[in-house]
Amino acid sequence: MTQKHILSGDLLVFHDDPFEVPPEDAVQIQSDAALLIENGKITARDSRDTLIAAHPEAAHHPHPNRLICPGFIDAHVHYPQTAMIASWGKRLIDWLNTYTFPEEMRFDHPAYAAEISARYLDLTAAHGTTTMASFCTIHPTSVEALFTEAAKRGQRIVAGKTCMDRNAPEGLRDTAQTSYDESKALLEKWHGVGRLSYAITPRFSPTSTPEQLEALGVLWAENPDCLMQTHLSEQVDEIAWVKDLFPNARDYLDTYEAFGLLRERGVYGHAIHLEPREIDRLKDVDAALVHCPTSNTFIGSGLFDMAGLKARGVSTGLATDTGGGSSFSMLRTMAAAYEVAQLNGSVLHAGQLLWLATAGSAKSLHLSDKIGTLEVGMEADIAILDLASTAAIAQRYNNAAHHWDRIFPTLMMGDDRAIAEVWIGGAKQTLS
């Protein structure tokens, strides 16, 4: 007989996008509520007493004074950078050359790729992250390792082979043809298998020749249900470099658009220094941007205009950008997003932050029908937050006047100690 589980406590429920309607109307905290989990999915949501009475055979997991959330969704990461996270650096290009590229060269070894894949998924689960969209390295072994480990855990992830055929060290360059061939083979093997999705993955325009971008544009046209992930307008000096490399391009985005790499299901990380034309085109095609606040501040890239872009109706997710980002924690990432918004002259509500880390990121990855909310029928990826996980947070929690006042300190000060429990695909995880 299928094991049923009831998780009870306060539930985080989304009724709408809290950037489009007032957060207090879009996001609700349902007290004394519960979820029924069967066969890896949420099959009922009701009051605690109603579900317990209707399903006396179910195992009950009570969570008083905790917040039951959708599992966090990290929409832009580099899992191969796990071991070099928090490496001292200067600007983006210097940091890539000094730390990133030497580490990524190690991923042609299957055993090392498997080791880091397992380590990364352990670390992220401990922080309540249940789905991520990851760049791998140019080596097919790096993709194979991550997908294999995620499949063992029944985890929903998006990943792809990073493609680079110039401006990278020997050993980290492929060609236009091999990037197409290897990406196609990986896509055909893994895309849609279980909870795995493939993303066509040019690193960014400076490391791809026009020939490679064109080849990947063809591959995307042949497989339009895949995502395409890349980087866009992260640093001012990077944009100047792009102008030198693509002198005929109207702007950075045009280096993708010209080769068929701009449309719906495109996911563009960072996107800090956008031109008005670029914003218009991103909105026109319903592409998604991903805010990486800890990375943008750590590497000194700039301040993402969340308020302005959301006001324009641009789809936006949230990400750690491991290992440019300095934390595996989506809680720390939410805190950084709040701080960046303040520096930009706006303020983010706790409900907006939680939406970005769950439903918003799911929308950006075109997974809203599967993850990101606690609706009936959704996959049971769940993070349960202890809202009094440390003495500092507890003393603030105990003096809070309302739900949001109790939740906000955990978003600003919480870490892995705040993650009381994690469920992936309806299975409770053992957290290290």
CATH of the domain at 168: 3.20.20.140
Predicted local confidence at residue 96, as pLDDT: 80
Q: Are 296 and 409 members of one domain?
A: no
78 and 66 in a common domain: no
| pLDDT score, position 84 | 87
Quick one: DSSP state of residue 15? S
Q: Which residues of the chain have pLDDT under 50?
A: none
The pLDDT value given to residue 65: 87
* Cα–Cα distance for residue pair 140/157, rounded to 1 Å: 16
Residues 25 and 77 in one domain: no
How much is the pLDDT for 324? 85
User: pLDDT tens digit string along 403-417?
Assistant: 999 999 999 999 999
Residues 64 and 88 in one domain: no
Domain boundary among 364, 398, 416: 364
From residue 174, how far is each of 23, 81, 140, 291, 421 by CA, in Å?
A: 46, 19, 11, 28, 41
Q: Phi and psi for 156 in degrees, rounded to 5?
A: -85, 120
Confidence at residue 368, expressed as pLDDT on a 0 to 100 scale: 98
Note the Cα 288 to chain centre separation in Å: 12
**How high is the pLDDT of residue 431?**
86
Indicate the number of domains in the chain. 2
Would you state the pLDDT for residue 353? 98
Q: What is the pLDDT of residues 357-374, one digit of tens each?
A: 999 999 999 999 999 999
- In terms of domains, do 328 and 376 share one? no
What is residue 90's predicted lDDT score, i.e. its pLDDT? 67
For residue 350, the Cα-to-chain-centroid distance in whole angstroms is 18
- Domain stops at, among 311, 334, 364: 364
* Domain final residue, candidates 322, 340, 364: 364
The CB-side HSE value for 432 (13 A sphere, CA atoms) comes to 8
- Residues 234, 218, single domain; the answer is yes
